[in-house]
């Protein structure tokens, strides 16, 4: 089978959708299928060779409390038509199919079986209508979708406000070969201190400012502790670093971007993983990665995270933006080694259901179901 995986986002910039597509591409090819990845890219993508088809120049656009790097070019039609004509895909799998302009345009011109995966959770009514697509165009594009996947129940509830039809919920996956407890930790942080790990892009909605304030409250109570901050982002980092310096807060380390290969080593180094996002998270891949590494979690009780972590089982969920609750949860976990081990063990078991070989098989089985359904309709 020949499959196109289409992303609206800059494939050169790290993100959940790009990681999802990269893993799905690898597993589909291991099944014996031909796969092409179509996406805008701000630099050359060499890892895929000629299987990567660059399409459009991405621009940073504010979206859902973050920055979406998408192409807004209106001159992609001929290029898209040419690729679809030459490649003759059996399946065109669009991730966020109504995001401008690439996915929406590919969906418009595709005569293949079209499947869309909905990753987003925003919480605001009319999110899809806020993009320059409009109600009439949205209805037209919806008619061209043969299949609809949501990565979680919150993502399904959000998308179904405007997207009619049946959805299949298939979660994001985790590479259990990469996120294995057998990796080596980061030596410089293995000095006996209890390590709190934050891994995410440095954006306001990820809640690092609340974690810093919580750590400021607990540092005197757990002096042999450290906060390790991993993730790309420069516009906020200097503000966070200045706040830490002004408060005289010790043992806060800003690492910056790390590769997917090195990320598991930071999880291995951690005693507890914490990401206090304020909302608009549809799933929480980073939580599954932490669980796969056997780490207890302290996170916020928002729909996307609560669909992954059961409060009191694999971790503790607290109210968003509640610094005292966050500090108390961290203290509870840091002070109780037995609790850390029990939560980590439960998380490790639960992470197995998100293994990419299992998730990719679910996606491919859905392809077959949609193709068979379309063939029946055409008879």
Contact 137, 98 (CB under 8 A): no
Q: How confident is the model at residue 68 (pLDDT cuts 50, 70, 90)?
A: confident
Of 71-75, 276-280, 350-354, the one with minimum mean pLDDT is 71-75
Residue 313, both tokens? 């089982």
For residues 96-118, give the mean pLDDT.
93
SS3 311: strand
Dihedral pair phi/psi, residue 203, rounded to 5°: -125, 150
Instruction: Tell me what the pLDDT averaged over the chain comes to.
Output: 92
Q: How confident is the model at residue 124 (pLDDT cuts 50, 70, 90)?
A: low
276: pLDDT strictly greater than 70: yes
Residue 178, both tokens? 């990469």
Domains of the chain in sequence order: 2-173+355-378 (3.40.50.2000), 187-354 (3.40.50.2000)
Of 96-110, 180-194, 292-306, the one with minimum mean pLDDT is 96-110
Distant-in-sequence, close-in-space partners of 244: CB < 8 Å, separation ≥ 6? 212, 252
| pLDDT given for residue 377 in this prediction | 46
| pLDDT given for residue 353 in this prediction | 96
The helix (H) or strand (E) run that includes residue 168 is strand 168-169
End-to-end CA distance of the chain: 21
59: pLDDT strictly greater than 60: yes
Of 62-71, 73-82, 300-309, 368-377, the one with minimum mean pLDDT is 62-71
Residue 345, both tokens? 């063990």
Percent over 70 (pLDDT), the chain:
93
| pLDDT given for residue 126 in this prediction | 46
Whole-angstrom Cα distance, residue 42 to residue 37? 15
| pLDDT per position as a tens digit, 125-175 | 445 544 555 555 676 778 899 999 999 999 999 998 888 899 999 999 999
For residues 280-299, give the mean pLDDT.
96
Instruction: Give the residue, 302 or 138, on which the prediction is more confident.
Output: 302
Tell how far CA 272 is from the center of its chain: 20
Write the burial class of residue 192 (CB in 10 Å: 0-12 exposed, 13-18 middle, 19+ buried).
exposed
310: pLDDT strictly greater than 70: yes
Q: Which long-range contacts (CB under 8 A, 24 or more apart) does 314-319 make?
A: 314/343, 314/346, 314/347, 314/350, 315/273, 315/287, 315/343, 315/347, 318/276
75: pLDDT strictly greater than 90: no
Closest CA relative to residue 83, chosen from 57, 110, 45? 110
């Amino acid at each position: 089978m020949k499959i196109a995986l289409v992303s609206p986002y800059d494939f050169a910039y790290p993100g959940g959708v790009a990681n999802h597509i990269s893993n799905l591409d690898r597993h589909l090819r291991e099944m014996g299928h031909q796969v092409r990845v179509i996406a805008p890219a701000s630099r050359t993508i060499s890892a895929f060779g000629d299987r990567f088809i660059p399409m459009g120049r991405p621009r940073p656009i504010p979206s859902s409390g973050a920055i979406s790097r998408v192409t807004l070019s209106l001159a992609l039609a001929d290029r898209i038509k040419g690729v679809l004509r030459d490649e003759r895909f059996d399946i065109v799998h669009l991730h966020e199919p109504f995001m401008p302009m690439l996915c929406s345009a590919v969906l418009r011109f595709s005569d293949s079986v079209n499947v869309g995966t909905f990753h987003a959770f925003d919480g605001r009514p009319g999110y899809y209508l806020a993009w320059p697509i409009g109600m009439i165009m949205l209805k037209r594009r919806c008619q061209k979708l043969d299949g609809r996947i949501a990565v979680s129940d919150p993502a399904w509830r959000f998308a179904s406000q405007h997207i009619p039809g049946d959805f299949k919920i298939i979660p994001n996956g985790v590479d259990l070969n990469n996120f294995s407890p057998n990796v080596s930790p980061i030596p410089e942080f293995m000095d006996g201190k209890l390590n709190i790990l934050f891994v995410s892009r440095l954006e306001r909605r990820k809640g690092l400012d609340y974690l810093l304030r919580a750590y400021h409250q607990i540092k005197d109570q757990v002096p042999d502790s450290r906060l390790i901050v991993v993730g790309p982002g420069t516009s906020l980092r200097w503000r966070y670093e200045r706040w830490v310096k002004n408060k005289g807060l010790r043992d806060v380390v800003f690492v910056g971007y790390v590769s997917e290969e090195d990320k598991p080593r930071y999880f291995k180094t951690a005693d507890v993983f914490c990401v206090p996002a304020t909302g608009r998270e549809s799933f929480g891949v980073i939580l599954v990665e932490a669980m796969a590494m056997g780490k207890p979690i302290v996170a916020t009780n928002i729909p996307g995270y609560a669909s992954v972590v059961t409060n009191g089982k694999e971790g503790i969920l607290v109210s968003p933006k509640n610094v005292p609750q966050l500090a108390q949860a961290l203290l509870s976990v840091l002070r109780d080694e037995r609790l850390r081990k029990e939560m980590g063990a439960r998380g490790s078991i639960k992470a197995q259901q998100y293994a990419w070989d299992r998730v990719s098989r679910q996606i491919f089985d859905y392809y077959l179901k949609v193709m068979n359904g379309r063939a029946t309709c055409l008879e």
